[in-house]
A and B are shown apart, each in its own frame.
Chain A
Amino acid sequence: MKSIRTMILVTNDPISVERGAQDVFQMFQTEIRKADLYDEIKLSTISDVGEREDLPLVIIYPEAVIYSQITTEEVPVLFDEHIINGRIVRSLLSKMHEPVGEIAWLRARLGALPAQQRVVLGRVGQVDPESLADFLTQDGYAALEKALFEMTPEQVIDEVQKSGLQGRGGAGFPTGRKWDFVRSAHAQPKYVICNADESEPGTFKDRLIIEGDPFSLIEAITIAGYAVGAETGYIYIRGEYNLGFERLQNAIRQAEEQGLLGNHILGKDFNFHIHLHAGAGAYICGEETALIESLEGKRGQPRARPPYPPSYGLWGKPTLVNNVETLANTPHIIRNGGEWYHQFGSEKSRGTKIYTILGNVNFTGVIEVPFGITLREMIEIYGKGMEKGARLKLVQTGGSSGSIVPASLQDTPMDFESWRSTGASLGSGAMLICDEHTCVVDLAKVLLDFFRFECCAKCTPCRVGTQRCYEIVDSISKGLGSPDMIDELKILGADMELLSNCGLGQTASVAVRDILKHFKDEVEQHIFEHKCAAGVCQFIQKTPFEQNLLSAQAGAEIESEEVVP
């Protein structure tokens, strides 16, 4: 890997593919084979380069030169001139942007943002996700080796506890403690489950890890298995992630072939097997007990808790369930030690966090930064500012079950405690940044529609509550609202939070609660004045004043009709 001198990227988004990008890719492959430059040139694909007219692009590194509208005929010329002779083919250069801007734009796209600290995503984009050999050259499996040869399972757990790592799935439970619970449970056998059912809207951090660095996840699950005393691991990946499924399947197969999974791993007395299980489309299966039910081949409906999975999980046995990002942190902690991890983040939220930035900003995508940066910094530095002419109104954090943070709170440091103290939650790390054109009533409607659709229907407070909340917000958005609806929403929300069986029902009303807390005026405007400041809602009913006027006119007409005969 180290000797690679040139990297060629060919876009493979649907538009490029339609215009023959795959043939271009194959043509490059042929050229590389002909020139016998396998060891020096790396050919790869790049998706998601944004909205452009001049696709497909061919991007060549390290010069960061972009050629546009490349067809198979141009490949041999490009290859001979640029790769062999080192001369840029000016006639094929992309014309859309100035060269300088182009490179800046591209760097941003490829993730070289200022001051990003990539720990978990460190290898993503640098390592061949389909090659174990490549992974091994980049410290791959060093952590498992260290754990197996130099540490007892208890020491592994100690190290994770010392690091202060907290679960990245949303709840933020201390990972080391969870591992300890499973280890100290008496029943046998034990299981490790990696929760890769990433369905929180706006979140795709786990997909990036799975697709970009699948071996690190396999390594992490193996370490977790060693630490808690399990011999079987499961990865529950959501059914929509086809590429991730294939990459993990390939990673498991290669690891098995090399003796890094199976019996007597690395010659030690430790057996571990990983099974890959694809979901079939259900948001609720991200909840750990619903996931376990689904793994057992049932409807994905959450169990009553307690007992919690560390004592009663898969097949009723002690089970460790961790999110992909949480697990992906652990090999780094084992390799470098728990103390090392303290350099990232704040006192009580250690480490880095992967966020997905979405919405009305100039850059949307994934970043990994230490805990403690503020929303303002995130928007200005990593999101490259708001879109032209847009002003920040609110941020919807942590996916649908997260909270709504008004612009006034954008200087709160983003870590678990600071946000908890403002009543917000970081959740899964999705940051949906909304400008003034977003109507809070409309947003609440979309979120509630999502919840009533995804509700598993097991418990009444959630099944009825999500539907009723939706109906109320829907009528407010249509101008059919009445003043008592605000109170009804508050009462319903409190009931759902208190009485629902699982996190879905408990958090379904959070968005509405936050909206009523921070944007009550706007909701009242919808009810009393039938006015939508953002201009999104379409009212089907007139305001009381207009109604009176209409009925007065109608009354006058009736009277006049009566007079006629």
Chain B
Amino acid sequence: MCPGIATDHEYSEQELDRIIQEAVEANGSVRDAVIPILSEINQKLGFIPVESLGKIRRYINTPEAGLFLADSHLYAVASFYQMFSLTPTGKHVVRYCASAPCHVEGGRQVIEALQEQLGLQPGETSHDNQWTLLKTSCLGVCGVGPVFLVDQDIYGNVTPEKIPHILAKYR
């Protein structure tokens, strides 16, 4: 349930198998476990490798019990939700709130400063794989807007001047 935690992108076949197996065991091989299983893989690897979808399908498909899933079903789910990433993310993921409350409280300047200092547009990952910049909808901490997240840490009442200090902690 956590968005992309920074990890190395290198993993072995066996490791992926183990992660998938554990996720399926913990959540059960039923249709409604699909999202929790994908969450767990996304959390452990920082993204969901496309080749894992076929493996998940093989684990939880039980046509005799009326549960039939194609890879495309899983891809449809994995590509729908914003907390899932199908491509590797940078070591640190910055998510800024683009909703109206933060915007009114000075969010536009913060977004511009973030883009400038990271040298990234929303959705991009830096060449050295250090940073990914993403847009997110309301994080529910509007009382201290504008807000952005670095990995799991929330920063509120942000001004463009504070951004270098915040980012420096992760460099």
Report which A residues bind B (CB closer than 8 A).
Answer: 13-14, 18, 48, 50-51, 198-204, 207, 238-242, 245, 277-283, 294-300, 356, 358-360, 364-366, 396, 399-400, 430, 432, 434, 438, 443, 446-447, 449-450, 453-454, 456
The reply to whether B140 and A203 form a contact with Cβ atoms under 8 Å apart is yes
Contact A364 B143 (CB under 8 A): yes
Say yes or no: B31 contacts A453, CB within 8 Å. Answer: no
Given A203-B142, A240-B136, A280-B82, 20 extra CB contacts under 8 A: A14-B156, A199-B138, A200-B138, A201-B142, A202-B138, A239-B39, A239-B81, A240-B140, A279-B35, A280-B39, A282-B80, A297-B32, A297-B77, A358-B105, A359-B101, A360-B105, A364-B144, A432-B104, A449-B98, A453-B135
Known: A239-B1, A356-B143. A202 touches B80 (CB 8 A): no
Q: Tell me whether A295 and B100 are in contact (CB under 8 A).
A: no
What is the CA–CA distance of A242 and B139 in the complex, to the nearest angstrom?
11
A48 to B83, CA, bound (A): 25
Name the residue on B nearest A294 (C-beta).
Answer: B35
Q: Residues of A contacting B46 with CB < 8 Å?
A: none
**Residue B62 is within 8 A (CB to CB) of chain A in the complex:** no
Complex interface residues of chain B between 87 and 111 (CB less than 8 A to chain A): 98-101, 103-105
B53 within 8 A of A: no
**23 examples of A-B residue contacts, CB within 8 angstroms:** A14-B155, A14-B156, A18-B169, A48-B143, A198-B140, A201-B99, A202-B100, A204-B142, A239-B1, A239-B39, A239-B81, A239-B83, A278-B35, A279-B35, A281-B3, A281-B137, A294-B35, A298-B31, A299-B76, A300-B81, A358-B145, A446-B100, A450-B98
**Cβ-defined partner of B153 (8 Å) among A14, A278, A283, A364:** A14
Residues of A within 8 A of B98 (CB): 446, 449-450, 453
Collect the chain A residues with CB atoms within 8 Å of residue B47's CB. Answer: none
B40 to chain A, nearest CB (A): 11
Q: For the complex formed, measure the closest distance between the CB of B86 and the CB atoms of chain A, giving whole angstroms.
A: 13
Give chain A residues whose Cβ lies under 8 Å from the Cβ of B138: 199-203, 399
Chain A: minimal CB distance from B39 (Å): 6
Chain A residue with the shortest CB-CB distance to B37: A297
Measured CB to CB, the nearest residue on chain B to A437 is B104
State in angstroms the CA–CA spacing of A240 and B154 once bound together. 11
Is the pair B39, A358 in contact by a Cβ cutoff of 8 Å? no
Q: Is the Cβ of B140 less than 8 Å from the Cβ of A242?
A: no
* B-to-A contact residues, CB < 8 Å: 1-3, 30-36, 38-39, 73, 76-77, 80-84, 98-101, 103-105, 135-145, 152-157, 169
Check if A295 sits within 8 Å of B81, measured CB to CB: no
**B136 CB to nearest A CB, Å:** 7
Given contacts A199-B137, A281-B81, A359-B101, contact A297 B35 (CB under 8 A): yes
CB distance from B106 to the nearest CB of A (A): 10
Q: A393 to chain B: closest CB distance in Å? A: 11
Tell whether, in the assembled complex, residue B143 and residue A297 are in contact, meaning their CB atoms are under 8 Å apart.
no
Q: CB-CB < 8 A to B31: which residues of A? A: 296-298
Report the bound CA distance from A226 to B104 in whole Å: 44
Give Cα A172 to B144, complex, Å.
28
Is B83 a contact of A365 with CB atoms below 8 Å?
A: no
Which residue of chain B has the shortest Cβ distance to A245 in the bound complex?
B1
| CB-contact partner of B104 in A203, A239, A438, under 8 A | A438
- Residues on A with C-beta less than 8 A from B104 are 358-360, 432, 434, 438, 443
Given A396-B100, A450-B98, A297-B142 contact (CB < 8 Å): no
The closest CB in chain B to the CB of A456 belongs to B80
Please report the C-alpha to C-alpha distance between residue A447 and residue B142 in the assembled complex, in whole angstroms.
Answer: 15
B-side contacts of A202, CB under 8 Å: 99-101, 138, 142
Task: Name the B residues within 8 Å of A294 (CB-CB).
Answer: 35
Chain B contacts for A299, CB-based, 8 A: 76-77, 80
